[in-house]
């Protein structure tokens, strides 16, 4: 049975220069963490020169397809007819990327096929999560 969905997406970094370079980012969903989405950027695309992974709510990504959402480190909003803007805020600065909305819709549909929205709680393993917290506290 499939437990993880990973989808490459073409992200366009919005920079001061007129040209927007393409970044081969990945969207990742694991039904063991059913409320979360991860978006990973390869090392060459980051200021630190290492792979960077942002984790945020699946609900945030879905809502951001239709209206501006998010007040924290990750913000999502529609841009024109076929793009979605994701903003990633960190102490080092802000990265703004455009992704084709259809790529996000396909990804979200695949996550919903795996874990329907509203049924995420059925996929939580609270005993395992508590054991991890206790192990990390020692």
Q: Global pTM?
A: 0.81
| pLDDT band at residue 40 under the 50/70/90 scheme | very high
Check residue 134 and give its pLDDT.
75
CA 104 vs CA 25, 60, 132: distances in Å: 12, 12, 31
| pLDDT band at residue 20 under the 50/70/90 scheme | low
Average pLDDT over residues 53-74: 95
The answer on pLDDT for 22 being more than 50 is yes
Average pLDDT over residues 1-27: 78
Average pLDDT over residues 57-72: 95
The answer on pLDDT for 136 being more than 60 is yes
Q: Are 36 and 57 in contact (CB under 8 A)?
A: yes
| pLDDT band at residue 19 under the 50/70/90 scheme | low
Highest averaged pLDDT of the listed ranges 61-75, 85-99, 104-118: 61-75
Check residue 92 and give its pLDDT.
80
């Amino acid at each position: 049975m499939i437990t993880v969905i990973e989808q490459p997406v073409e992200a366009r970094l919005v920079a001061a220069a007129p040209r927007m370079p393409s970044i081969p980012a990945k969207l990742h969903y694991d039904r063991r963490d059913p409320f979360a989405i991860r978006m990973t950027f390869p090392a060459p695309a980051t200021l630190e020169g290492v792979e960077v992974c942002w984790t945020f709510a699946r609900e945030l990504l879905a809502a951001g397809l239709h209206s501006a959402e998010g007040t924290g480190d990750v913000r999502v909003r529609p841009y024109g007819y076929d793009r979605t803007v994701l903003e990633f805020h960190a102490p080092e600065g802000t990265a703004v990327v455009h992704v084709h909305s259809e790529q996000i819709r396909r990804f979200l549909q695949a996550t919903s096929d795996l874990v329907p929205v509203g049924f995420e709680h059925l996929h939580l393993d609270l005993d395992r999560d508590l054991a991890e917290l206790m192990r990390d506290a020692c």
